[in-house]
Every structure is written in C-alpha cells, then in structure tokens.
Copies of this chain bind each other. A is one copy, B any other.
C-alpha cells in the first residue's frame, strides 16, 4: 500500500493545497488524546460518549478534515449504504421519473445510487445483480424482464420491484387495472365499440397486465378487444403497429406505451390517417413529449417519481428495527387518464 505521501520527490499527484493522505480515526484519536474506539463511537454510536468528549472529538475531526472512510466502514459490517437501480431501458423516457425519484430518496437517506441498464435483457439483469451483490445493500429493479422464477433465484438479495409484482417481494406499481378501466371507459363514452391493443415486449409483465386489464374492462363495457403485436416499445416500432391497427379496421388503438403511441401517430400522419377523426390513439405513461406531439396524446399518467421514491422506501425500510423477515409490501399507486387531442368520437 504505502500512502504516497510526504514524499518530496513527487509522483502521481498535482498541485499543493490539498492534504496528501486523508485523516483517519487514528489521526483524530492521537490529536485528541483518546483511543480510536472512542472516536469511532463518537460517529457511529454517539450516545455512548460524553457530551464533552463528543464535542472535543468533533472539533479535532473538523480541524483535521476527517471523514469516515465508507469502504472501511462497509467491510466488516456488510452495510454499504448503497442501492442499485436497474432499469429495463435507460433510453425510454418513462424511466426518467423513476430514476429521478429514486435518486432523490436514496440521497435523502444518506445513501448512494448505482445505476444499471439491462437493455431489455433478463440475462444482463441477472448479471448486474450478481456483480453488484457485494457492493450494495439492496436492489431496485424497474420493469424487470426476468421470469418470476429467475427473480426468486436471487432471493438472497434484498430486492424491491418497480412496476412488477412477484409474490414474496416488495413492489410498487401504478394501478394498471383501474387505469386501464379509465381508458376503456373514455373510449366507450366516445362511442367506440372495438379497440386494439398494440402489445409491448413478450417478456414484459406490464404488457401482460395491460392486455389482461384491457380485455376485462372491454368485456365489462361490451367492447371487443384485440391484441396485435408484439411490437418493440419504441417510436420506431410505431410504424408497424400503426399499419397493423389500420388493417384491423378498429376505431381505437391503445398502445403499450407512449413511445409506441407517438410512433403510431407519426405513421398515421404520414399515411394521411386522421387522428382522432379516423382512429383514436391512447398511450401509457405520459412521458415527456406526449403533450406536444401532434395531436397531443391521450395517455394514462402515473406518479413515476413517487414510484421511485416509494421503491427506495420499501427497500430501506426492510432493514428497519423489526427486521422480522421480508414482510413484503405490494404498493399500488393511482393512475389517471390525461385526455388530449388523440382521442375523439368514433367515426361514422
């Protein structure tokens, strides 16, 4: 090891000013005339040290610019005060809210956020988890593409899911069933009697949920529902999705997400199909841009930042005093339909 320090014949480091080697509890203890353990307790268990001593230690620490080394702290305890967030696709604006919310809450708890992108790959997702397992106190997985069983195989890791539910794990999702019902009621009230679902990735739990909810709600209201796809959940995927929707002769298309929905709108514009005069389009997520595409997209908005924050809370709470097993919580946050120009009365 050898700190590189008071060496005159300089090596690696630049300028002056900054202290070479960061102060440790040893330095603080020596300067304060105390044992290192006393210094340690001052920071990690302050009640076990007298007020006088505590202040003294703080003063000396401040003066020396001492800051506990998080690594040294984490090594024996196993607590890294770090959380990993793994998202299915970092380019999808849908995740930005989740990332932002999680980052915020993680910081608020004095933790650090590690970010990983699984690029829609369940394998990469699992690899991420394995590689980070020792460096992290827990995982947050948003829109996991792993199969339920694969998730269970990771059981030994502390894990909270976002927009995915698996028995035995904490999760935070937006209310797909109620949200989807809002979509279908809206379309029904506009006189539509049939709709198509432009499906998302086969491995997406959310896609399955949405389709299921759509079909159920449609039945309840006497509409027919058809599933087309799957399509890649990107703007690019909207081209094929739009054409498929046209082929189906329906009057209303519900896209798996806004990315796909906006892609559909573009394709319709290219082909001269009127929205909503010829066909209505609905999306999910209310992503950035859904309000200024043309026509603006009717979509199901969810509290995604809150989802991120709640995910962190669930994860961190699991370490609480009552660490009696996982006691998983399945949180469901409300969604609400944002009606914009892409939906209108059924033609004819």
Contacts and interface: CB of A to CB of B under 8 A. Distances in A.
Interface stretch (A36-44, A114-122, A220-228, A331-339): A114-122
A326 B96 contact: no
A247 interface: no
Interface string A84-115: 00000011010010011001100100001111
Interface string A66-81: 0101111011111010
A114 B117 contact: no
Interface in A1-22: 1-5, 12-15, 17-18, 22
Contacts of A112: 114, 131-132, 135
A319 interface: yes
A100 B87 CA distance: 12
Nearest to A97: B91
A294 interface: yes
A135 B114 CA distance: 12
Interface in A295-339: 318-319, 323-326
Contact of A113 (B115, B288, B326): B115
Given A2-B323, A156-B14, A325-B3, A115 B117 contact: no
A75 B4 CA distance: 15
Q: How many copies does the complex hold?
A: 2
A46 interface: no
A134 interface: yes
Contacts of A107: 116
Interface in A145-160: 153, 155-156, 158
Given A75-B75, A288-B289, A2 B117 contact: no
B155 A69 contact: no
Contacts of A5: 325
Contacts of A326: 2-4, 14
A4 B78 CA distance: 12
A17 B149 CA distance: 13
A262 interface: yes
Nearest to A324: B2
A103 B77 contact: no
A17 B103 contact: no
Contacts of A76: 1
Given A71-B71, A71-B134, A2 B325 contact: yes
Given A156-B13, A293-B292, A91 B100 contact: yes
A114 to B, nearest CB: 6
A65 B13 CA distance: 39
Given A2-B323, A103-B116, A289-B288, A135 B14 contact: no
Interface of A: 1-5, 12-15, 17-18, 22, 67, 69-72, 74-78, 80, 90-91, 93, 96, 99-100, 103-104, 107, 112-117, 130-132, 134-135, 153, 155-156, 158, 168, 262, 265-266, 288-289, 292-294, 318-319, 323-326
14 contacts: A1-B78, A1-B318, A1-B325, A3-B156, A12-B325, A14-B155, A14-B168, A69-B134, A90-B99, A112-B114, A114-B114, A115-B115, A289-B289, A294-B294
Given A14-B326, A70-B135, 5 more contacts: A2-B323, A3-B325, A14-B325, A104-B117, A294-B294
